[in-house]
Structure 1
Amino acid sequence: LKAGGVGEEYFINGQWTIDWPSTFQVAGTTFSYERPDGEPESLSALGPTKEVLEVMILLQEANQGIRWQYNVPLSGLGSGDGEVVFTWQHGPYSECTATCAGGISTSAALCIRDDDRSIVSDSYCDQEARPMEKTRACNEDPCPAEWFRGEWQECNGSVASGKSAMVPWRVARVQWFRGDWQECSKSCDRGTQTREVYCYRTVSALEQEIIPETECQTRKPVVRRSCNVDPCPPTWVTGDWSECTPKCGDGEMTRTVSCMTTDGQNLTPDRCPGNTKPVSKAPCNAGACPPPRWVTGPWSQCSADCGKGQQRRTIQCLSPVTDLPATDCPASLRPSDMQECVSPCDSVDVGDTPDEDCKDVNKVAYCPLVLRFKFCNREYFRQMCCKTCKEVLKQQNGG
């Protein structure tokens, strides 16, 4: 690609030379020139350009063509000073649909650039202000009469002298009937519309007869045509609502809201009208929540290593929905957090000690506490409090 001004000033690939890929400033914007391996060259700029530029092609092999695209300002309706104005105007009337006996001629709305009166793409004009197509009657004079040739009658004479005759039946007009176009199947993105078309013969001022299409000498009018060919504007597309969160009581549900083209391409939200954007969140209620309940933890180890003791466990009032602490569990249903337990006692060896040798050490004044806290299963306390622990052994053995 080669870009140059209206004159002889070239900015890239001028004078039959090929430049390296680069970026350069021209016409008030930055151009980027790229030449990737095995792919077409490209020349791009964000714009806007402030002077007229010419884009030309320098061929070194077969012409593969040029692909181009450009952007136009969104505010193309002429609201600012010096801004180009585009307006709707009706174009010339089309050729009449019939040469006689009444036809229709139409005038479509065209988007006109006001400064040079040129016809431009419809996308430049305000689509909501587009006027309806105009129609008018045309060629209303009656069609001239035509001869209709009937079938040959049977021969009414002998074999030798008989003749047959083709008798004109009646003067009739053979033509196509064109019904009104039906409503377009789509409001945008190229729909289709159809109409009724058949061949008929006018028998009299009050009578018509439908005949085979082969009887009409002219080409059959089209019965299907494209309509509303302009692309549809982007629209908001919503996803399915999520489940209500939390799962009971007052909550909220959400869904995705995307700005998309009719072919499923995602666009930025600013491309769709903000005043019609659907909500992405909504309040909900999944029903009454179940009441909080008492939840118990595991029992602790028995407090006594030998004999009776106590066990404890944690008791919590929790919400069944969030598993967080709550305060309104019924006190009357609160489980116990303590229970009695019995731990087996290990066998002690004081039973074989003679009574005269089994004594409590006098200097040890805590033997009653050893008995109270059931420490006789420990070797040290059995030796220091032999007599006391032997009494315990006798009680456990029923003696």
Structure 2
Amino acid sequence: MHKFTSQFSPGPGGRNCLGMSVEHSVCENPPCPKGVASFRDHQCQTHERNASKKRSLMTAVAIDDKPCELFCTPIGKEAPVLVSDRVLDGTSCGPYEMDLCVHGMCQKIGCDGIVGSMAKEDRCGICNGDGKACKVVKGGFRHTKGMVATSHCKKVATCVLAKERTVPTCFSCYVEAAVIPVGARRIRVVEDKPAHSFLALKDSNKKSINSDWKIELPGDFLIAGTTIRYVRRGLWEKISAKGPTKMPLHLMVLLFHDQNYEIHYEYTIPVNHSADPQSQPQKQPESFYIWTHSGWEGCSVQCGGGGRKTIVSCTRIINKTMTIVNDSYCQHVLRPEPQIRQCNFHPCQARWMAGDWGSCSSTCGRGFQHREVTCIFQLQNGTYFSTRDFYCLGHKPAAIQGCEGWNCLSIWEASEWSKCSSNCGQGTKRRTVTCSNFQGKCDVATRPREEEECEDHSECYEWKTGDWAKCSATCGKGLQSRVVQCMHRVTGRHGNECPTLSKPAAYKQCHGEACNEKINVNAITSPRLAALTYKCTGDQWTVYCLVIREQNLCQDMRWYQRCCQTCRDFYANKLQPKS
């Protein structure tokens, strides 16, 4: 949070000018704790409290094109209301801006702390420097679809790997992308494109962002001795820090989906600092490890007198520099007992007690969450009971705050229907239905059906054949016939839906014993005479006459008599003189 101070001063030459003369200086405090109202929120609450004499639940909204006007949104309403045409001097121009509002206008703040100054820090953190005291380190991390993660993983609910492919379970994994060294400045980490994965940071003191599968809201975090600014807009993320870092900073990625993912990062380090972990320094200073009392724990009681213990930590000493490290480095040294000091001697009195935050009102996007805040009176033995609010000192903690739901894209995805189980009549068809949310939180009431009745008659009809009849000739070549019909295989009804190409043959040639040509009195010896003189009133066997003609059986008088019209035309055409 920035603070402004002002004073009146005479004009040039010692004479007073008309109007006020104000000087501003910039100062900066550590980041505000989580849950504490911002400077802009405080102005909204103060304005509402002065207007209604009641405790306000209004929240501030920064409008992009009017950053130095005070817009406030009452709880339960969506539209912001213009409360004042000017915010207090020193208010940030936006949630992620370094510029400040002065006299209702957004002003640049130089690195020398002067409003409107053009002084800028170079990439090495030196005000008005030339940038030669450090060098820029750039890198990237890429995860290709199909790669097997080898880092810390955890089984999660149903995942959607692609629109065309879903699996019942998958794994979310933390993958270390880079280690940012001590002394790094101007740290910047950006996702290549929006993705369902999350950026994560952790230092050796176990301060972190998005670690242990706990996703933070965007904001400022004090990690590795510097303020880390975490920005998330939809599925896109960015991390930045001014630096310098006081300890190594581990940059990780929490991967939820088997997809292509890429980030880019950069930072600066002094020119005498090696960013390459494989480079070997010429000489490593000697280090040793001891137990130290690095701090104090909280008091055992809130009032009435209690005790607090020192925190015993393993410390590495290099060139008179002390760094807290993992306790495993001090296993060979006897660990001392913690020191104890008395604390909280004041008599027990009423204090505020806040419960846990409830679930977010929105499952996807911005919403609100509530908690119970009660004024309690605590006894020395630790027991307490509720009392009236006016007995508690200080401001009552907020009972409502903004939040953001992460159960987005919670829709059901269904595959294509399978073929009908029956190709003749009624059957069933099936499909696969999966939840697209990686936590598996989809509304069961809206789940599509996985099975449905169907009806298919595409293969109901088939060709049916009868037995072959006797051969038409007692000797020589003849014909055999059989009945071929298209019939429904269930009802037995005739139809025309059978495939023509697969229709079985209805006729075939048959061969008897060789005929005695000398005795065969039925053979026509004079086809021309038979064709011209035979008295014919028409074919008697119209079904087979074309077959008789094709099989060249017209020369047999028995067939000629039955198919006289067809056979006579055949001989007449055959015996016509050639032109």
TM-score exceeds 0.5: no
Question: Higher RCO, 1 or 2 (CA under 8 Å, sep at least 6)?
Answer: 2
User: Normalising by the residue count of structure 1, what TM-score does the alignment of the two structures yield?
Assistant: 0.29
TM-score when normalising by structure 2? 0.22
**Structure with larger Rg:** 1
